[in-house]
Amino acid sequence: MADTAGSLRGAVLAERLEEAGRALIAVARRVDPADWRRVASAGVWSTGRDAAHVAEATLLHQWMVRRTIGERVPSQRPTIERTELITAMAPTEVAELIRKRTLEGVTLLRGLTDEQLDLPTQPPRGRGELLGRTVERVLIGHYDTHRSEIERKLRRADRAR
């Protein structure tokens, strides 16, 4: 891919991702070690698993961006573990992985041009969603969704004490 200067839209998306990453890490760091691996009920992820899932899923979301803009990526999409309810990683490990993957995503988004953001997402999403919208909804939105879920679980744990 040729070196191109990113667009203002790409920079704004990168800033939003960076903010979402900081917010998620801040919430993950507040989780009491006793709550990190606690499964509230059958089939419900622990708070630690919610946080670890974001770090894992970010690989898939970045793969979609890279594939859409024509970068060489493996043809098979990254797999995401969804059946495990807890994570073996410690809170500090998950926070560091989220920080690292967020930085990778921020760098990727800062380089996107308006033309790239207006490409149909690959693989195709519902109704031919354009890449810029996919980044907002799937990549950034994923951080926010799981941060909110962790906050909800923390409130529930606090009430149970």
The enclosing domain of 31 has a CATH number of 1.20.120.450
Q: Which residue has the higher pLDDT, 153 or 160?
A: 153
User: Is 133 a member of any domain?
Assistant: yes
pLDDT tens-place string over residues 7-27: 999 999 999 999 999 999 999
6 DSSP β-pair partners: none
3 found inside a domain: no
pLDDT (0 to 100) of residue 129? 94
Write out the two tokens for 110: 């800062």
Could you tell me the two tokens for 42?
């059958």
User: Does any domain span residue 64?
Assistant: yes
* pLDDT more than 90, % of the chain: 81
pLDDT in tens, 35-82: 999 998 899 999 999 999 999 999 999 999 999 999 999 988 898 888
2: pLDDT strictly greater than 60: no
**Higher pLDDT among residues 83 and 127, named by residue:** 83
Residue 84 domain-assigned (yes or no) = yes
> Residue 46: its pLDDT value, please?
95
Q: How many domains does the chain have?
A: 1
Indicate whether 33 belongs to any domain: yes
Backbone angles phi, psi at 120, to 5 degrees: -65, 130
Q: What is the pLDDT of residue 4?
A: 56
d(CA 1, CA 68): 12
CA angle 125, 47, 56 (to 5 degrees): 40
Question: Is 102 domain-assigned?
Answer: yes
Domain membership of residue 128 (yes or no) is: yes
For 148, residues 6+ apart whose C-beta sits below 8 A from its C-beta are none
Would 1 be classed as within a structural domain? no
pLDDT for 158 equals 83
Enclosing domain of residue 151: 8-160
Q: Positive or negative CA dihedral for 91, 97, 101, 103? A: positive
Q: How far apart are CA 15 and CA 109, in angstroms?
A: 9
Phi, psi of 121 (to 5 degrees): -60, 140
Model confidence pLDDT, tens digit, residues 69-126:
999 999 888 988 889 999 999 999 999 999 999 999 999 999 999 999 999 999 987 7
